[in-house]
Amino acid sequence: MMSKNKFDMYAVLSKPKSEPEKAGKAGEYFAEQLFKLKGWNYEKLPQNILELPKLLKAFGGKRPDYIIEAKPECENTIIVVDAKYHSTENCSKWYMENDEIIKYNGLKKYLEDQYSNYVVYVLFILFPKESNGNKVIFVSLSDFNEIEISYKGTTPIKKINLSSGDFLVEDCILYKQ
């Protein structure tokens, strides 16, 4: 018999029509379970493209999935998070298309422009498909910015070596299988 949490995940995954939409919904589902598990305060941002602020659009940015509340000792800090659910070659490598990285950099520039007295962090919470939600890897936008462009076919990408030891990797049981 399927556990309630696993059933909820399948219900969430069944609504989107495309594979990227399913992966996005799964990443968000896992992220929210992780936030609750860690006791982090967060706000989910609506993803309706019609509501994208004109200035954010002018910076070429995209809306993140979440804003995470920074600890009190980290005042003047903005943490925005995008949840990802991707294949990672058994938790060893992860790539993102360069066009998407450019949009995240536009988001960071937009936030820095709007909140000039704040330090802005753009983070990715990656849930490898191979671990089915039971492992999380934290990657910063700055990690992607330090990598040279390579290509997947004709698409410019940046590939992160997750097995380098430079990333925070945690085992987490977000639902019982």
Please, is 20 exposed, middle or buried when counting C-beta atoms within 10 Å of its C-beta (0-12, 13-18, 19+)? exposed
How many Cβ atoms sit within 10 Å of the Cβ of residue 83? 26
pLDDT at 50: 64
Q: What is the pLDDT of residues 130-143, one digit of tens each?
A: 988 788 999 999 99
pLDDT at 2: 35
Structure token digits, residue 30? 């896992």
Task: Grade residue 173 by pLDDT with cuts at 50, 70 and 90.
Answer: low
Task: Grade residue 15 by pLDDT with cuts at 50, 70 and 90.
Answer: very low
Task: Grade residue 170 by pLDDT with cuts at 50, 70 and 90.
Answer: confident
CATH of domain 4-171: 3.40.1350
Domain boundaries defined on the chain: 4-171
Structure token digits, residue 143? 């990690």
How many Cβ atoms sit within 10 Å of the Cβ of residue 73? 6
pLDDT at 157: 97
What global pTM score does this model have?
A: 0.83
> Is residue 27 scored above 70 in pLDDT?
yes
